[in-house]
Chain A
Amino acid sequence: MKRKSNNYKRYLDPKVISKIKGLDIIARMVVEGFLVGLHKSPYHGFSVEFAEHREYRPGDEMRYVDWKVYGRTDRYYVKVFEEETNLKAYLIVDKSGSMGFGSNGITKLEYVKYLVSALSFLLLRQKDAVGLMLFSDKLDSYIAPSTRGNHLNTVLKELHQLKSGGETSLASVLFELAEKIKRRGLIILFSDLFDDYQSIVKSLKIFRHKKNEVLVFHILDPAEISFPFKGDILLRDMETREKITVEPRSLRRNYKKKIQSLISSYKRDFRNVFIDYQFLSTDTTYDTALMSYLSKRRKMK
């Protein structure tokens, strides 16, 4: 059994999952791998519809203890619910050229694709409506949130066809989306956030003003963090095609400082406006991301 759970956990590794074809399978494997790991955690079950009883374990909230059962059996049982909600989750994916960068066998966009697939699967499984928005310098695709039976396929099909390209204009797209989303919901942004820092924060604030919950997944490639290049190189911007010659060794220290400072700024400023921020490197296992979501989802109860 243990081996089995371990096997499922393998699918949380982006490198492993990237070798599997079919987003639906990937989504299932990631979620199942995640849930197996989650089995003994207190996060299981947030839905309002009762599903089953199970024995109380330390960490379970006392409000879920079924006192009636306790009265009958003298044992603590907690109620496990299947969520039944009208939550709308808006998965906003940055598909700009920079998301096509990948140094460890998986691009940021691929990482996001698998992550979005898994999240969609998980959300839909919990009866949450899932909407998908793809953008670069403009909103390229918009799938309205839905909980229909084959909606997952629609989402996965869109993700399957997703290719990186175009420049990033995150702020303007978010402004546009903010206009479009009338009903409050959960906004999940997947992006490398390589755009004007101030305007990104400003645009996400609008969602917060409209009482949306916002979760930002800041996706970066490990190479974008460590800048591991050697020798003199000519770097070509994947969005603008601009080229510059650099000597990485002498730049590395400053670059790393700069990127860490950017991450810290995002973390700080998003926190200030109650936006959840999760930094993800493309070598980070998916459970971190899913856990962030769950944590957020839980807050929304």
Chain B
Amino acid sequence: MFHILHPLYLAGLSLAAIPLIFHLLGKRRIKEIPFSSLFLLKEIRKSNSVWMRIKNLILLLLRILFIVFVVASFSHPLVLSPVPFLGNEAPENITILIDVSLSMGVEGTFNKVKDEVIRIWKLFASGSQITLITYSDRIEKEEDVENISDVNSFLNNIQVTYRGTDIAQSLEFAHKKVLEDKGFLKKVFVISDFQKYALKNAQKPFGEMHRQGIQIYASTILGSKRNLYFSGFKLEPSFPLPGLRMKIYPQMVFDKGNSHPVEFSLNGLVKGLKESTENTFFETKTETSGYKYGYFRISGDSLSLDNDFYFSFYVPQSLNVLLVAEDGEASYIAAALTPGVKSPVEIETVSRSDLLRVNTEKYDLLILYNTGMNSLVETRTANFLSKGGGVLMIMGDRFRTDVNKSIFGDIRITKEMNAKEGFFGIKTVDTGFQPLSDFKNKGLKNLYDTKVFRYYTVNSQMRKVIVAKNGDPLMMVGNISGGRIVLIPFSLEPEWTQLPYKAIFVPLLYRLAFYLARRREKLSTFKVGEAVKIAFSKTVKDPIFLLPDNKKKSAEVTAMRDEFFYTLKNTDTPGIYRFIPEPDDTIPVSVNVKEEESVLEFSTFKELKAQFPDIKNAQEVKSFAVKGKRWLDLFPLFLILSLLCITAELILENR
């Protein structure tokens, strides 16, 4: 172990070039003296010439070494003392990185961290320069501390944040910091729970610090691994409409066997409370369309900072359906989807030839009823799908697969006309398919009793959710370029099937419609630390965001084509952030803590040591200890060496 107390002095090593320069210049500027005759000298000069060269080189070496030793002595090189009593316990340069990311909020952990900081502080000799740095996915706070009251004051003022961890960035910062500081022995302590996910890019900074002689110590604070947290939420139906009952499912991790109560709030009102998180959902209904927001809240687990989960979604006014069918052909479909005056489904029927004049963007669902495909229909369908729309395709005699390959090639529909004709019953119904999942005994029996006439065979890679007794698919589901498609490969006209007469027909169609309906642009969910970005079609004069604590912050605007993006650069806490484009309009978005932080997969000191060999010592907090080392200052040794050099030089010079 070797350290330089005053490395800047080493710049003086450049002075070693001076003898070299003099040596080279001296060769050119040698004094010329006229002498009577050289004939005697010539005889003895030969041996002298070799000696002169050797001597000059030795002199040069001695002069260079003299400078090197003088410079080295004043830079105070230090080596680890081989003898326990020899040398001094020297002041050191210490940087303590304290993890204040969300996971450090596990009950009791942060107090251990504070104890550890004080314990490390006490290990070092007075005069040591100690810097405390707190970090999450950014550097939170940095302070040089000189005495224990400074340390206590610092620790009293820090707290766990809602942010994730970026240990690599923090190490790089600490690295720069310790390099800037004077001091011969540099040590970096990292006090953290060392979440596994956060160690991805740490190899490089650990390695670089180690290469530069910085000793790295990892102090692992391990908390409880059991943490209940939310991973998301699910809405049923996924296309909510005013007046419809819907179910909201909090998606939980570790909910089995837990009996933590869950609170549910929607639009600022607590709507429900369940005793357990296990298989929990909340039923609710909204009477109005518009943006909805809320939260789930659990309590009683070890990490309380991630116990709130915020969500937001949009409830459209109605589900708009565009039905492409020839005159009157599919009126029973329209009637089935709009059973009453108050139906939230609105249907417009157009013929294939009228499809061109229709703006499909305002529709949530496109039903192609026995529609012969041509390039217009194909293009329109493809566009619709690509924008997230859903298509219910009911085949019939007009449907021709050969013209559909360019669009539907992905799902490879083939239609074989030489199939055996006849009525077939239903063999299997996949209740895992969401629109079919609600049907239980009676409903399913109703479906199984249905017979359909088939006169061709359809093959496809799509998921077969209803299969006829002869093995032909009767309902298939697939995804094409962002949109969903449900294919009923037979005619639904009454002479070909009994299905429209069955009681299950209306609810099935209804469910298919809601399943397929275009997902309203989902409100993005954001993580703490990320920028919140809202797309809005109009310019806003003074765009602001209302933070969860009701403070206002200006939004930054960027324009792209005919859309504007309003951005809130940074978020520090979870909650509902509201963008206010107009005084009476708000767009709420949810910001939650980073899910990885809630996972609590810690690295033990053994794992750390194995993963990062550059870490000098990685121990559990209880047994962790660093003893002060004694160091020998090589100043006198180098000074003696320099004196020896100059003495040897003088002797040789005057020989």
On whether the beta carbons of A244 and B30 are closer than 8 Å, the reply is no
Q: Which A residues touch B52, using CB under 8 A?
A: 232, 245-247, 250
Within 8 A of B (CB), among A208-265: 221, 224, 229, 231-240, 242-247, 249-251, 254-255, 258-259, 262
CA distance A274 to B162 in the complex (A): 118
Please measure, in the bound complex, the distance between the C-alpha atom of A242 and the C-alpha atom of B35, giving whole angstroms. 10
> Could you tell me the distance in whole angstroms from the C-beta of B106 to the nearest C-beta in chain A?
78
Residue A108 is within 8 A (CB to CB) of chain B in the complex: yes
B32 CB contacts on chain A under 8 angstroms: 233-236, 243
Contact A238 B48, CB 8 Å, known A244-B42, A245-B30, A247-B55: no
Which of A194, A240, A255 is close to B44, meaning CB atoms less than 8 Å apart? Answer: A255
Chain B window 48-59, contacts with chain A (Cβ cutoff 8 Å), 1 for yes, 0 for no: 110110011000
Q: Which residue of B lies closest to A258 (CB)?
A: B40
Q: Is the CB of A246 within 8 A of B48?
A: yes
With known contacts A235-B41, A250-B55, A258-B43, A229–B33 Cβ distance under 8 A: yes
**Known contacts A234-B31, A255-B44: does B37 contact A192 (CB below 8 Å)?**
yes
Interface size on A, as a range, is 35 or more
Given contacts A244-B45, A246-B48, A251-B41, contact A238 B30 (CB under 8 A): no
Q: Is A98 part of the contact surface with B, judged by Cβ < 8 Å? A: yes
In the complex with contacts A194-B39, A244-B41, A259-B40, A251-B48 CB distance below 8 A = yes
Rounded to whole Å, the gap between the CB of B575 and the closest CB of chain A is: 85
**A247-B48, A247-B55, A250-B655 in contact; A242/B38 too (CB < 8 A)?**
yes
Residue of B nearest to A230 (CB): B31
B residues near A99, Cβ cutoff 8 Å: 36
Q: Which residues of B contact A259 (CB under 8 A)?
A: 40
Please determine whether A234 and B37 come into contact, CB atoms closer than 8 angstroms: no
Instruction: Select from chain A the residue with minimum beta-carbon distance to B52.
Output: A247
Report the count of interface residues on B (CB-CB < 8 A): 25
Within 8 Å of chain A (Cβ to Cβ): is B34? yes
Question: Min CB distance, A122 to chain B, in Å?
Answer: 28
A98 to B35, CA, bound (A): 7
Bound: A168/B42 CA distance, A: 17
**B339 contacts across to A, CB distance below 8 A:** none
Min Cβ gap B397→A in Å is 114
A279 at the interface (CB under 8 A from B): no
Judged by a CB distance under 8 angstroms, whether B26 is at the interface is yes
A224 CA / B48 CA spacing, docked (Å): 18
Complex CA gap A245/B52 in Å reads 10
Cβ contacts under 8 Å, A234 to chain B: 30-33
Interface presence of A67 (CB below 8 A): no
From A98, A221, A250, A262, B48 is in contact (CB under 8 Å) with A250
Contact residues in A for B26 (Cβ distance below 8 Å): 232
Per the bound structure, the CA–CA distance linking A224 and B36 in Å amounts to 8
A56 at interface, CB cutoff 8 A: no
B residues within 8 A CB of A251?
A: 41, 44-45, 48
Q: Is the CB of B44 within 8 A of A237?
A: no
Question: A101 on the interface (CB 8 Å rule)?
Answer: yes
B653 CB to nearest chain A CB (Å): 9
**Residues of A contacting B654 with CB < 8 Å?**
249
B45 smallest CB distance to A (angstroms)? 6
Q: Which residues of A contact B38 (CB under 8 A)?
A: 235, 237, 240, 242, 244
Contacts of B39 in A (CB 8 A): 194
Q: B58 to chain A: closest CB distance in Å? A: 13
B34 engages A254 (CB within 8 Å): no
Whether B33 contacts A233 by the Cβ 8 Å rule is: yes
Interfacial chain B residues near A235, Cβ < 8 Å? 32-35, 38, 41
Whole-angstrom distance between the Cβ of A221 and the nearest chain B Cβ? 7
Residue of A nearest to B30 (CB): A234
B36 adjacent to A221 (CB under 8 Å): yes
> Chain A residues near B655 (CB, 8 Å)?
249-250
CA–CA, A250 and B31, complex, Å: 17
Does B45 contact A108, Cβ atoms closer than 8 Å?
no
Measured CA separation A237–B37 after assembly (Å): 5
State A97–B44 Cα separation when bound (angstroms).
Answer: 22
Give the contacting residue for B35; candidates A238, A245, A250, A258; CB below 8 A: A238
| B43 partner residues in chain A, CB cutoff 8 A | 258
The interface residues of chain B lying within 8 Å CB-to-CB of A221 are 36
**Residue on B nearest A164 in the bound complex, by CB:** B36
B49: which A residues are within 8 A, CB to CB? 245-246
Query: Which of A232, A239, A262 interacts with B30 by CB under 8 Å?
Result: A232
Cross-chain contact A231 with B31 (CB below 8 angstroms): yes
Residue of A nearest to B53 (CB): A247
A258 touches B34 (CB 8 A): no
Task: Decide if B44 touches A233 in the complex (CB within 8 Å).
Answer: no
CA gap between A234 and B28 in the complex, in Å: 11
Q: Report the separation of the CA atoms of residues A254 and B41 in the bound assembly, to the nearest whole angstrom.
A: 9
Q: In the assembly, what is the distance between CA of A228 and CA of B261, in Å?
A: 107
Residue of B nearest to A232 (CB): B30
Residue of A nearest to B51 (CB): A250
B-side contacts of A97, CB under 8 Å: 36
Residues of A within 8 A of B33 (CB): 229, 233-236
Q: Which residues of A contact B36 (CB under 8 A)?
A: 97-101, 108, 192, 194, 221, 224, 237-239
Residue ID in chain A nearest B654 by CB atoms: A249
- Chain A nearest CB: distance from B424 CB in Å? 115
User: What is the chain B residue whose CB lies nearest that of A237?
Assistant: B38
Task: Give complex CA distance A239, B35 in Å.
Answer: 9
Shortest Cβ gap from A157 to chain B (Å): 26
B31, B41, B42, B655 pick with most chain A CB within 10 angstroms:
B41
B41 to chain A, nearest CB (A): 6
Distance (whole angstroms) from the CB of A202 to the closest CB of chain B? 18
A267 vs B83: C-alpha distance in the bound complex, in angstroms?
72
| A247 neighbours in B (Cβ, 8 Å) | 48, 51-52, 55
- Contact yes or no, B44 A254, CB < 8 A: yes
Smallest CB-CB A-B distances: 9 pairs: A98-B36, A101-B36, A194-B37, A235-B35, A234-B32, A254-B44, A247-B52, A237-B38, A98-B37
Residues of B within 8 A of A (CB): 26, 30-45, 48-49, 51-52, 55-56, 654-655
User: Can you identify 12 A-B contacts, CB atoms within 8 angstroms?
Assistant: A101-B36, A108-B36, A192-B37, A233-B30, A237-B37, A238-B35, A240-B38, A244-B41, A245-B30, A246-B48, A250-B48, A251-B48
Given A235-B32, A255-B41, 16 new contacts (CB under 8 A)? A224-B36, A229-B33, A234-B33, A236-B32, A236-B34, A238-B34, A238-B35, A239-B36, A246-B41, A246-B48, A247-B48, A247-B51, A250-B52, A250-B55, A251-B44, A259-B40
